[in-house]
Each structure stands twice: as C-alpha cells, then as structure tokens.
Amino acid sequence: MGRFQGMRSILKGNRLEKAGAILAALAVWQLAAMLLDNSLFLVTPFVVARKLMTLVFTVDFWSAIAFTFLRIEIGFFLALFLGTILAFAAGRFRVIGVMLQPYMAVVKATPVASFIILCLIWLNARNLAVFIAFLMGLPIIYTNVLQGFHAADIKLLEMARLFDVGWRRKFRYIYIPQVKPYLLSACSMAVGLTWKAGVAAEVIGIPDGSIGEKLYNAKVYLNTGELFAWSVVIVVISILFEKIFMHAARALFSYRRKR
Amino acid sequence: MDIIIENVSKRFGEKTVLKGFSAIIREHGITCIMGPSGCGKTTLLNLLMGFEQQDEGSIKGVPVKKSAVFQEDRLCESFDAVENVRMVCHKDTPDGQIRNHLIQVGVGDSLYNPVSELSGGMRRRVALVRAILAKSEILFLDEPFKGLDEERKRQVMNYVKENIDGRTVVMVTHDEEEAAEMEGNLIYI
C-alpha cells in the first residue's frame, strides 16, 4: 500500500515537474517576444493561442488536419508493416538482409529534401507525404526489429531446435517477445520522424488543403502567428498520436488469452 | 537401438574435459551419468544432444526426436506454465492434459502466471513436464531435481518414472540417492 502511494506521489511529482517546465518555456518565449518586439520575427504565445482559437472554428482547419493526418499515418503504417516483415525475413534468411542493406543505407543517409524533390517528379503532390513518411519510417522500423531478432536468446533457440519446434511457434514464443521492446521504441521514434518528414514534403509539394500548404502560405504572406499556430498543431497531433498508438501497441502486446 | 559412445574426447581450449570416454546407453532404459562436479557430465550430454561436436571418437545411435531438461530451465519468461509446455506439444494436445500434468508435479496453483514469477523449484517442474509431454524417443535430464525439497523430489521422480513411456532416458546427476531411486544403469565419468 505504502509502495503504491510512494509511486503515485512520484508520478504526481513528475507531472508537476513537466507542467512547471512547460510554463517556464512559455515564459521564456513570452519574454523573448517582448524583448524582440517584432511580431514578424517572433509572436507571443498569446497571439498564437488567439490565432488557434480562430482557426479551430473553421472547417478548413479540420479538413487540413484530416488530409495530412491520413496521408502521414498511411505512410507510417505501411513502414511499420513492411519494415517488420522485411526485418523478420532478413533475420530468417541472411541473404535478404544482405540484399536490403544498400537500400536501407541509402534511405538512411539521403537528406529528406532530396527524396522529396526527386519524388515530386515521380508522384502526385497530393500523395507525396504518404511515400515520404513511409520512406523515413521504414529504415527505423526495419533496423530496430532486425536488431531485436538478432538479440533472441541463443539458449532458447537451442532448446527450440532440440524439441524440433516449428517456425511459427519459434516466432510466437521466442522472437516476438524479444522483438517487442525494439519495435515499440522504433515506433516511438518513427511517429515523430514521419510527421516531420511528411509535413516537409507537403511544404515543398504544396498539395491543396494540406497542413503543408497552410504553413507555406503563412510563410509567403509573412503571417508568423499562423505559422506558429500550425506548428503547434503539428506538434500536438504528433504527440497525441504517439501516445495513443503506443498505448494501443502495449495493450496489444500484453494481451492474454482469457481462461 | 543402443547409443554407442566410443573413445570420445572433448577439449575447450587448453582444457580437456573428456578423454577417450566410451560407454553404451541402453535403449528404452534409464541411464544415470554420474561423477564429481566439472568431470564433463554436462559436456557429454551436450555431445549427445548435438549442441557440441566431439574432437575425437564417435557417438552412434542417438534418436532423432529428443526432449530435455537443461541445466538452466530455458523457459519462455513472459509466457505461463501451460503455454511453455504447449510450445513443444502436438497442436492437438488438449489444454486439460497439459494442466493435468502440471497439477501432478504441484504447479496447479500457478498454471497461468508468467513463469518469470515462479520459484526456482516450480520452474524446474514446468521444464520437466515440457520434456515429458514433448513427442520424443529420448529424454535428456540434466540434474532435473535440482532445487526441490525431499518430499517434492520423490513426488516428481515418481511422476517421471510413470511418464517415461518406454523412452530412453539419460540423466545427469551427482546424487547417488537420486540415481538409485531412478533405478537406472550407472555410468561413471
């Protein structure tokens, strides 16, 4: 009982610390904006909040969010699905890992802007964010899952070999529990990165009705308040999605059959 | 078919663990490998299981279908006792049969707890049931009763003897009483 209360007070303490840190950061922002006194360079948090309040009551705001969210998350889920399958295939058959290595190395090392410009030649700007989010998420998921696969307990694998356990069961009982923490940490990293890269793709491709277009217009018309407001929206959606997704993923992994 | 071990030697670096060792392990019987700590009992078991390769000599007649209780339990930590046993069973093995075996060795109260939460003795018994229920022609048991109190040890020994089903059993132990209780052939290293 005492231990639970102790944990609760630590959590409460952590939340208070976080809230304090956010308030302090907002205060620094406000102070910097006041000192600079130029709304073209830096607007105050109040201006951003006011701008957000006007934006949230427009249909355009929500349709832009839906447009971008849908495309980036399709890209993320494609990366998650394909990255996991390719990593398991590479873990199982070494030759697949060897063949995939140059592709993954190139995707990891190439600047996202190069990909965006190159892909604009191949793809419609409306769906560019899907491909860029996928491309940025894929190597993270692939590398981490493969690392988890290789970290599987040798002694358990030896046991499975002796008992002549089939591949499906080896996956379920040995590989999946081993890969789980690697996959979760990869997802946490990939969610943020796919949002950054996806929005960057939209800013360059400027598809109609996207968050990227709103950011681009805000820059062109020197509307710093709107630029900040949309940036806040991107950060909030990215963090919210990460929290919801990670919660669901953890729940899925810890699911136990009812008896 | 008996297992014939002829002039087997095994070295790890500079250290010779087995030197010119020969023995015959009778089919369908219990054979206890005995000897002091560090004499090469587990190494011999690893050679028989195919985890190590001998430097010299030959081992013939080891059946293909094997099951084992290892020196470490080698259980899948996040799964419960039933799931750990199910992993090696035929897909049609009913849950009830697995539960029944686990109850026989005294794990009935913790059937659905992750094995990481079980005591050392309970984990050992889960590993034993796993080896017993796996479809095999030979059972390798490396100190299978380690960590069990006298009363429990006797109960588990009876369980093993009742469930061998004519398989060949190779058991490593350094306890003479255990070997006598199992009524097996003795091989000293």
Stretch B107-128: mean pLDDT: 93
A258 touches chain B (CB under 8 A): no
> Taking the mean position of all CA atoms in its chain, how far away is CA A195?
6
DSSP secondary structure, A183-244, as one string? HHHHHHHHHHHHHHHHHHHHHHH--TTSHHHHHHHHHHTT-HHHHHHHHHHHHHHHHHHHHH
A156 has a pLDDT exceeding 50 = yes
In angstroms, the first-to-last Cα distance of chain A is: 28
- Give the residue from B51, B88, B113, B132 with the most A CB atoms within 10 Å of its CB, the best one to mutate: B88
Q: Which pTM does this prediction carry?
A: 0.81
Question: Which chain A positions have a beta carbon within 8 Å of B83's beta carbon?
Answer: 173
Please tell me which residue, A122 or A80, carries the higher pLDDT value: A80
pLDDT tens column, A135-145 = 999 999 999 99
Q: For residue A1, name the pLDDT band (cuts at 50, 70, 90).
A: very low
Cα–Cα distance for residue pair B146/B73, rounded to 1 Å? 11
Average pLDDT over residues A155-175: 94
Strands B3-12 and B15-25: antiparallel
Q: Domain B29-52+62-188: state its class.
A: alpha beta
Rounded percentage of chain B residues whose pLDDT exceeds 90: 67
- By the CB < 8 Å criterion, does B68 face chain A? yes
Each residue's pLDDT tens digit, B33-76:
998 888 888 899 999 999 999 999 999 999 999 999 999 999 99
What percent of chain A is predicted at pLDDT more than 70? 93
Cβ distance of A162 and B49 shorter than 8 Å: yes
Tokens representing residue A70 in the block: 């849908």
When the pLDDT of each residue in chain A is averaged and rounded to a whole number, the result is: 90
pLDDT on residue B185: 86
ipTM of the complex: 0.91
Domain coordinates in residue numbering, chain B: 29-52+62-188
pLDDT at A70 over 80: yes
